[in-house]
Amino acid sequence: MNYQPSGLQIGKMRVPLGVIGIIYESRPNVTADAAALCMKSGNAAILRGGSEAINSNQAIAVCIKQGLEQAGLPSDVVQVIETTDREAVGELITMQEYVDVIVPRGGKGLIERISGNARVPVIKHLNGICHVYIDGTADRQKALDIAYNAKTHRYGVCNAMETLLIDVAAVDDILPELAQMYAQEGVELRCCVRSAAVLADQSVVAATEEDWDTEYLAPILSIRVVDGMDEAIEHIFVHSSGHTEAIITENYTLARRFLAEVDSSSVMVNASTRFADGFEYGLGAEIGISTDKIHTRGPVGLEGLTSQKYIVLGDGHIRG
């Protein structure tokens, strides 16, 4: 709370969003995670899982209901939709009177459909086209370790690197060994003309324009050689999905510029994009990672499921 010249005390208070509809595919653990996050943040939840896990979701829902009743809380603050009919989703995302926000979790097709048809605000990310840029001043071992981890740690996740950008000043020293490391893991390399020339003795595929805009979720990596920071940032601006980008550099000034100019939900210096995760950020469980700019951005934990209201304390104050 802060005192104003009028004598009023002005502050802000975190408040729940209200009723959150969460639509997700497979992975019944989302049922428990989403219910816990919504309850912890003071929200009610309507959960609709995929048909693949309907029995597991319903079993988890029974446990949640029992827990709520034992805690003396209303058992209907978390509801799991029992039908797998798609029409139920279509109805849920248009119920402006009853639902305050929708959170879709799943493939790009699901999220595009929800975002396109919803009449309720949506917290989402469509895909994770993440970049790692190796600057000309990068420490060689850091570059090898980070670029290898960002791609090969797990393939089918939204924070895996899909495009490697490497400064022309570093390409001869770093790319050949890095390509061998990828080859040992069976990663297909889709290279620009200049990176392909450096890897002439290795098996690579010529990159197309479509590759720069593709989230592979597979052991496939696009590689492009760039002439410095400006070209790297321009490439990211054009092709990034706004999820996570990282720079590997020993130049403090360039690192600060990368942080300031790259407009993604997470921007990193000398760290793997795989750290873009609510648990790694200290948020505990997350409801998802938002690439929107409003109302929340990045990993969505408890705070992301709340809004703010102003609190004004007076003592008979009137405005003259």
Length of the chain as a residue count: 320
SS3 content of the chain, % helix, strand, coil (to 5): 35, 25, 40
* pLDDT of 126 strictly over 80: no
Residue 101: pLDDT band (50, 70, 90) is: very high
Written as one string, the DSSP assignment of 111-152 is HHHHHHH-SS-B-------EEEEE-TT--HHHHHHHHHHHHH
Q: With contact defined as beta carbons under 8 Å apart, do 285 and 301 qualify?
A: yes
Q: What's the pLDDT at 317? A: 95
* In the chain, % of residues over pLDDT 90: 88
Mean pLDDT check: name the lowest of 95-99, 177-181, 267-271, 281-285. Answer: 281-285
Residues 170-181 have pLDDT tens digits of 999 999 999 999
Of the listed ranges 14-18, 111-115, 219-223, the one predicted with least confidence: 111-115
Rounded-to-integer distance, Cα 104 and Cα 111, Å: 6
Torsion angle defined by CA atoms of residues 162, 168, 174 and 177, in that order, rounded to the nearest 10 degrees: 70
Per-residue model confidence (pLDDT) at position 67: 95
**99 contacts: CB under 8 Å, gap ≥ 6:** 18, 19, 20, 21, 46, 92, 93, 120
- Looking at residue 109, what is its pLDDT? 87
Give me the chain's average pLDDT, please. Answer: 95
Determine the Cα–Cα distance for residues 86 and 93; give it in Å rounded to an integer: 11
Domain 130-275 sits in CATH at: 3.40.309.10
Token reading at 94 = 């248009």
Residue 284 has pLDDT above 90, yes or no: no
Q: In what order do the strands lie in the sheet with 9-16?
A: 2-3, 9-16, 306-313
Report yes or no: 1 and 308 within 8 Å, Cβ to Cβ.
Answer: no
**DSSP codes, 159-212:** TSEEEEEEEHHHHHHHHHHHHHHHHHTT-EEEE-HHHHHHTTTS--EE--TTGG
Of the pLDDT bands very low, low, confident and very high (cuts 50, 70, 90), residue 293 is confident
Q: What is the mean pLDDT of residues 277-299?
A: 91
Which range among 162-166, 259-263, 288-292 shows the weakest confidence by mean pLDDT?
A: 288-292
Q: Are 200 and 175 in contact (CB under 8 A)?
A: no
Which class for 156: exposed (0-12), middle (13-18), buried (19 or more C-beta within 10 A)?
exposed
- The predicted-structure confidence for 222-243, as pLDDT tens digits, reads as follows 999 999 999 999 999 999 999 9
CATH of 2-123+287-312, one of 3.20.20.140, 3.40.50.300, 3.40.640.10, 3.40.605.10: 3.40.605.10
The domain locations on the chain are 2-123+287-312, 130-275
Q: What is the pLDDT of residues 159-171, one digit of tens each?
A: 999 999 999 999 9
Whether residue 27 has pLDDT greater than 90? no
Amino acid at 29: N
Chain centroid to CA 273? 11
Residue 57's pLDDT is 93
Contact 193, 174 (CB under 8 A): no
Say which residue, 179 or 51, is predicted with more confidence: 179
Q: Inform me whether the pLDDT recorded for 125 exceeds 90.
A: no
pLDDT higher than 90, residue 84? no
pLDDT band at 38 (very low <50, low <70, confident <90, very high): very high
